[in-house]
Chain A
């Protein structure tokens, strides 16, 4: 018994130390269902999605399944700043529901993922789903912290659209909708897909996206699902969103998948730009362009990007197509730092036009 306490103490100590390394992480409880395998699989992805931000310290617990004894299930909601519900089982006892409602009333945050019953009205079994398909989402509220800065139209892959959500409650805001096409057993109406609710002193964010599906699970690997969940979680916990909208948020041009959930970082991007060739994805190059725009006016940040670009020009293993893309970008944003690397490519036959293009433009202000 003593030993058990000691290990628990050590675990708590380690968690505390680990937590203190991360600045102000949001203490988060992820409650999963255990009634189905996909519930567990989806909880693992949700955990990865929240972890990716570095903002949340997660504890995961499984609620008893349908028909199981609930008497021992008493989550200590007030210990957490955020409760994430990815639960697909039966109704909880009244006292747990009351505790959760009280928690939100007192300023707690809740995220509801792809609920099986209406998370707003609490009325079960009046929800239906469309067939799985790709569809366009419209961001209908653009001044809410969760959706500020998102594209007004974006595509989402392989998901079901939920019908029957009652969004009439007080302080409920439908942030994004999708037309549920009757061709896919849809309702023929625009249905909510992202919903925010201010409740008492707290906040509830509901995503109706991300219905898990084997084997690809595209709906949960959609960059739009991932990013709106990350933003919704931060908002529910804090009332604000500090995360930037990433370059790969989907647009009207099509869906965007993140097979490994992760956002693109500097090292990954530059490693991949150097091996670009037709017809590979251009996403790492568009990442670079987005970073240049973001760094506008910040010469230190711009020089860091320029150095990465010059490294590709000087890299014997980098492809001709990669160097072409880099030369085009340097032609307008480059500084004196780039000039030797550009000049050094003057003799490369395949790059003749591209080097001339860059040199002609850069000389304008040099």
Chain B
């Protein structure tokens, strides 16, 4: 334990150093880490997981595939069944029965001495738990979208900055070659000067009507699941399907903002700013407990003249993914290793030495571990994730109010619209409050 703690302290020192990997030559280069070569236990990143549902377990498996580079020692979930499954997975990997379990993240953060934590929770919990984890000086792999409100996001970004930890957002598309190549072609003007971007995200799905109040499953701590969200009786919706309810999520729009909007920003040089004007419409289910928009279509104008249209895929000619339009053509990229352009020659272009070379990562989870060792910024840092989801959250506000929203991306304030400004944050249900930085 003491060795692990000292390793953790060491990591923090190297994180503070500007070029950790070069001044500490005995650290194994990142590319070797995933190959299962003999690694000193002291170089392992000791991790825990908060939120062990489907996405949390998926992330945990991706980390466990890195072999000896990481070791999970503790897991936390409000669902006892999920928690048991997570412990079993960790114990199997560690070939012991030592994985510690928690039902309350506060106790988890208080008792565990970790290097890093992997967090995958419903969005309404992100503001509190991301901030608390970072305030404990833990490096965080956090699922997108990183926040449910702009205020939550601002708090998380400030906490990461103040505590100087490594943050990796679950925007793993950045670590795939087609997205990297598409963004690099776009930012180097291979489609010409970018003036318009289209981002296609999934359509919403079928609703379930208005179910009655149901008995809370014995394994689920419903009050803790709700946490800062408004207190409501259990109606059969918790894991996974929370994403269709606006108290917990913004629907497909915010869920996928951290993917294709993030990629759009990356290739257009918009990752550190935001739009100045946002307007559009949503299609809301006329009734039912699922109230997130099933369709959405809004346009963001940027100070540099770029316009970005974000819509559900059925409304767009090229469907899902990101399309950068410039004065010489377009470049489109999507999942399934898709990369296409108005002229196939664009895709053969070589990026010169003096041009922009975007950050390259071949493995999203490995990149996080590498950066913990090197102290370098990860490929999907927190401020960039905040800017990506901000586009969706501002779009949501424009759709909710029916108004054209004017936004100051520097001050991060809505201009001249008190009603819309109220939607930048949400009061938390007592006793929860957003932590201070």
Evaluate contact between B205 and A252: CB separation under 8 angstroms.
yes
Evaluate contact between B235 and A296: CB separation under 8 angstroms.
no
Residues in B with CB closer than 8 Å to A294 are 402
Docked pose: A251 CA to B429 CA in angstroms: 32
Docked pose: A295 CA to B401 CA in angstroms: 9
A250-B286, A281-B287, A357-B427 known; A151+B210 contact, CB < 8 A:
no
User: Min CB distance, A62 to chain B, in Å?
Assistant: 36
Interface size class of A (residues with CB under 8 A): 35 or more
Interface string of B195-239 (1 = CB under 8 A from A): 000000001111101111100000000000000001101010000
B341 contacts the other chain (CB 8 A):
no
List which B230-270 residues lie within 8 A (CB) of chain A. Answer: 230-231, 233, 235
Evaluate contact between A153 and B203: CB separation under 8 angstroms.
yes
Q: Can you name the residue of chain B whose Cβ is closest to the Cβ of A278?
A: B213
List which B403-437 residues lie within 8 A (CB) of chain A. Answer: 403, 418-419, 421-423, 425-427, 429-430
Evaluate contact between A353 and B230: CB separation under 8 angstroms.
yes
B312 contacts the other chain (CB 8 A):
yes
List which A145-187 residues lie within 8 A (CB) of chain B. Answer: 151-153, 155
Docked pose: A248 CA to B312 CA in angstroms: 19
Binding stretch for chain B, among A39-47, A102-110, A326-334: A326-334
Docked pose: A253 CA to B314 CA in angstroms: 14
Binding stretch for chain B, among A12-20, A23-31, A285-293: A285-293
B89 contacts the other chain (CB 8 A):
no
Binding stretch for chain B, among A112-120, A202-210, A337-345, A358-366: A358-366
A282-B288, A286-B285 known; A254+B206 contact, CB < 8 A:
yes
User: Min CB distance, A352 to chain B, in Å?
Assistant: 9
Q: Can you name the residue of chain A whose Cβ is closest to the Cβ of B293?
A: A251
Evaluate contact between A252 and B295: CB separation under 8 angstroms.
yes
B290 contacts the other chain (CB 8 A):
yes
Evaluate contact between A328 and B230: CB separation under 8 angstroms.
yes
Evaluate contact between A153 and B314: CB separation under 8 angstroms.
yes
Docked pose: A87 CA to B104 CA in angstroms: 67
Evaluate contact between B421 and A365: CB separation under 8 angstroms.
yes
Residues in B with CB closer than 8 Å to A3 are none
Evaluate contact between B294 and A252: CB separation under 8 angstroms.
yes
Residues in B with CB closer than 8 Å to A138 are 314
A294-B402, A364-B422 known; A253+B233 contact, CB < 8 A:
no
Evaluate contact between A254 and B209: CB separation under 8 angstroms.
yes
A296-B403, A332-B423 known; A152+B287 contact, CB < 8 A:
no
A199 contacts the other chain (CB 8 A):
no
Residues in B with CB closer than 8 Å to A279 are 210-213, 235
Evaluate contact between B235 and A152: CB separation under 8 angstroms.
no
Docked pose: A223 CA to B204 CA in angstroms: 19
A253-B205, A253-B290, A286-B285 known; A356+B430 contact, CB < 8 A:
yes
**Chain A interface mostly:** mixed
Docked pose: A356 CA to B125 CA in angstroms: 20
Evaluate contact between A360 and B209: CB separation under 8 angstroms.
no
Residues in A with CB closer than 8 Å to B419 are 332-333, 365
Residues in B with CB closer than 8 Å to A286 are 284-287, 291
Q: Can you name the residue of chain B whose Cβ is closest to the Cβ of A354?
A: B230
Evaluate contact between B295 and A296: CB separation under 8 angstroms.
no
List which A246-283 residues lie within 8 A (CB) of chain B. Answer: 247-254, 256, 278-283
Evaluate contact between B294 and A295: CB separation under 8 angstroms.
no
Evaluate contact between A253 and B206: CB separation under 8 angstroms.
yes
A292-B402, A331-B422, A356-B430 known; A252+B204 contact, CB < 8 A:
yes
Residues in A with CB closer than 8 Å to B425 are 361
List which B272-297 residues lie within 8 A (CB) of chain A. Answer: 283-291, 294-295
A248-B286, A249-B286, A253-B290 known; A353+B429 contact, CB < 8 A:
yes
Docked pose: A254 CA to B288 CA in angstroms: 10
B84 contacts the other chain (CB 8 A):
no
User: Min CB distance, B67 to chain A, in Å?
Assistant: 43
Residues in A with CB closer than 8 Å to B401 are 292-293, 296, 332-333
Residues in A with CB closer than 8 Å to B207 are 253-254
Docked pose: A254 CA to B429 CA in angstroms: 32
Residues in B with CB closer than 8 Å to A332 are 400-401, 419, 422-423
Residues in B with CB closer than 8 Å to A354 are 230
A297 contacts the other chain (CB 8 A):
yes
Evaluate contact between B294 and A253: CB separation under 8 angstroms.
yes
A152-B295, A254-B206 known; A247+B418 contact, CB < 8 A:
no
Docked pose: A365 CA to B231 CA in angstroms: 25
Evaluate contact between B295 and A251: CB separation under 8 angstroms.
yes
B193 contacts the other chain (CB 8 A):
no
Residues in A with CB closer than 8 Å to B295 are 151-153, 251-252
Evaluate contact between B312 and A152: CB separation under 8 angstroms.
yes
B315 contacts the other chain (CB 8 A):
yes
Q: Can you name the residue of chain B whose Cβ is closest to the Cβ of A359?
A: B427
Residues in B with CB closer than 8 Å to A362 are 422
Residues in A with CB closer than 8 Å to B402 are 292-297
Evaluate contact between A353 and B430: CB separation under 8 angstroms.
yes
User: Min CB distance, A327 to chain B, in Å?
Assistant: 10
Evaluate contact between B230 and A152: CB separation under 8 angstroms.
no
Residues in B with CB closer than 8 Å to A223 are 286
Residues in B with CB closer than 8 Å to A253 are 204-207, 285-286, 288, 290, 294
User: Min CB distance, B266 to chain A, in Å?
Assistant: 28
Docked pose: A252 CA to B251 CA in angstroms: 13
Residues in A with CB closer than 8 Å to B314 are 138, 152-153
Docked pose: A293 CA to B212 CA in angstroms: 28
Residues in B with CB closer than 8 Å to A152 are 203, 295, 312, 314-315
Residues in B with CB closer than 8 Å to A365 are 418-419, 421-422
User: Min CB distance, B286 to chain A, in Å?
Assistant: 4
Evaluate contact between A151 and B283: CB separation under 8 angstroms.
yes
Residues in B with CB closer than 8 Å to A333 are 401, 419
Docked pose: A354 CA to B315 CA in angstroms: 37
Interface string of B289-312 (1 = CB under 8 A from A): 111001100000000000000001
Residues in A with CB closer than 8 Å to B212 are 278-279
Evaluate contact between A254 and B422: CB separation under 8 angstroms.
no
Residues in A with CB closer than 8 Å to B427 are 331, 356-357, 360-361
Evaluate contact between B203 and A283: CB separation under 8 angstroms.
no
The 6 A-B pairs with the shortest beta carbon distances in the complex, nearest first, are: A296-B402, A293-B402, A253-B285, A365-B418, A253-B207, A283-B287
Give A contacts to B, CB under 8 Å.
138, 142, 151-153, 155, 223, 247-254, 256, 278-283, 286, 289-290, 292-297, 324, 328, 331-333, 353-354, 356-357, 360-362, 364-365
15 A-B residue pairings within 8 Å (CB atoms): A152-B312, A152-B315, A153-B294, A248-B286, A251-B295, A252-B205, A279-B213, A293-B402, A296-B403, A332-B400, A354-B230, A356-B427, A357-B230, A357-B427, A357-B429
16 further contact pairs, Cβ within 8 A, besides A281-B210, A282-B291, A332-B400: A151-B283, A151-B295, A253-B205, A254-B207, A254-B209, A256-B286, A278-B235, A279-B212, A279-B213, A279-B235, A282-B289, A289-B284, A292-B402, A332-B423, A333-B401, A356-B430
